[in-house]
C-alpha cells in the first residue's frame, strides 16, 4: 500500500485488524477440528462424534462473539482504518465461513453419516490450507505489506476446490450409491465448496480495499 498522509493527520482505529486476526485464528481452529472429525469419523464411537461436533459448535460460538465485537466497535468508532462497509463485509464473511464448518459437521451427524468419502477429507485439507493462508494475508494487510501473493494463493486453492467439487459429484453419481445417500453427500459437498468460495471472497475484498486506498 502507498503511504497516505491522512494516516498521520487522523488517528485511526487499529483494533479492527486485531479482531480480524482473532476471527481467522478461530476459523483455523474450526478447520482443524473439522479435519480431525471427518478423517477419524469411521473410527469414532458415538459419544466421541458428539464430542467433536460440540467442539466445533463451541468454536463457532466464539466466532460469533468476535463478530459482534467488531460490529459494536464499528458503531463506536468515528474513524476506521478503511471503509465501514468493507469492515462489515469481512467480519460477516469470516463468520460465515465458521458457520458453514459448523453446519457441515451438524449435517454429517444429522444424516447419520459415519464414514465419509475420501474427497471430503481432501476438501477439509484445502479448507485448512486456505485458513492458514488467510492468516498470512491478514498479518500482511495489518502491516500494510504487499498482499498479492496470498490473494493469488487463495484463488488458486479455491480453483482446486472447484475441480474437487466437480469430480466428487461425478464420482458420487457414478458410484451406484442409492439416491438418498447421493442427496446427503451432495449437500455436504455443496457446503464445503461454498466455504472455499467464502474464504476466497475475503481475499478479493482485501484486494478491493488496497485498490481503493491506492
| pTM recorded for the entire structure | 0.92
pLDDT range class, residue 186, cuts 50, 70, 90: very high
pLDDT digits (tens, 9 = 90+) for 111-157: 999 999 999 999 999 999 999 999 999 999 988 889 999 999 999 99
Three-state helix/strand/coil letters over the chain: CCCCCHHHHCCCCCHHHHHHHHHHHHHHHHHHHHHHHHHHHHHCCHHHHHHHHHHHHHHHHHHHHHHHHHHHHHHHCCCCCCCHHHHHHHHHHHHHHHHHHHHHHHHHHHCCCCCCCHHHHHHHHHHHHHHHHHHHHHHHHHCCCCCHHHHHHHHHHHHHHHHHHHHHHHHHHHCCCCHHHHHHHHHHHHHHHHHHHHHHHHHHHHHHHHHHHC
pLDDT score of 13: 57
Is the pLDDT score of 71 beyond 60? Answer: yes
Q: Which CATH class is domain 11-213?
A: mainly alpha
pLDDT range class, residue 8, cuts 50, 70, 90: very low
Amino acid at each position: 500500500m502507498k503511504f497516505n498522509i491522512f494516516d498521520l493527520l487522523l488517528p485511526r482505529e487499529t483494533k479492527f485488524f486485531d479482531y480480524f486476526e482473532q476471527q481467522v485464528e478461530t476459523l483455523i481452529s474450526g478447520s482443524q477440528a473439522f479435519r480431525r472429525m471427518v478423517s477419524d469419523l469411521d473410527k469414532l464411537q458415538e459419544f466421541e462424534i458428539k464430542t467433536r461436533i460440540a467442539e466445533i459448535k463451541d468454536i463457532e460460538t466464539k466466532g460469533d462473539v468476535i463478530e459482534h465485537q467488531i460490529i459494536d466497535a464499528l458503531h463506536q468508532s468515528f474513524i476506521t482504518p478503511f471503509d465501514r462497509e468493507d469492515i462489515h463485509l469481512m467480519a460477516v464473511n469470516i463468520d460465515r465461513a465458521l458457520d458453514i464448518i459448523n453446519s457441515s459437521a451438524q449435517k454429517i451427524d444429522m444424516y447419520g453419516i459415519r464414514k465419509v468419502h475420501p474427497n471430503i477429507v481432501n476438501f477439509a485439507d484445502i479448507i485448512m490450507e486456505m485458513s492458514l493462508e488467510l492468516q498470512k494475508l491478514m498479518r500482511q494487510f495489518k502491516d500494510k505489506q504487499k498482499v498479492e501473493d496470498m490473494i493469488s494463493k487463495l484463488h488458486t486453492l479455491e480453483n482446486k476446490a472447484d475441480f474437487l467439487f466437480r469430480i466428487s459429484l461425478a464420482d458420487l453419481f457414478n458410484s451406484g450409491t442409492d439416491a438418498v445417500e447421493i442427496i446427503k453427500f451432495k449437500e455436504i459437498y455443496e457446503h464445503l465448496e461454498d466455504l472455499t468460495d467464502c474464504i476466497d471472497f475475503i481475499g478479493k475484498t482485501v484486494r478491493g480495499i488496497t485498490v481503493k486506498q491506492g
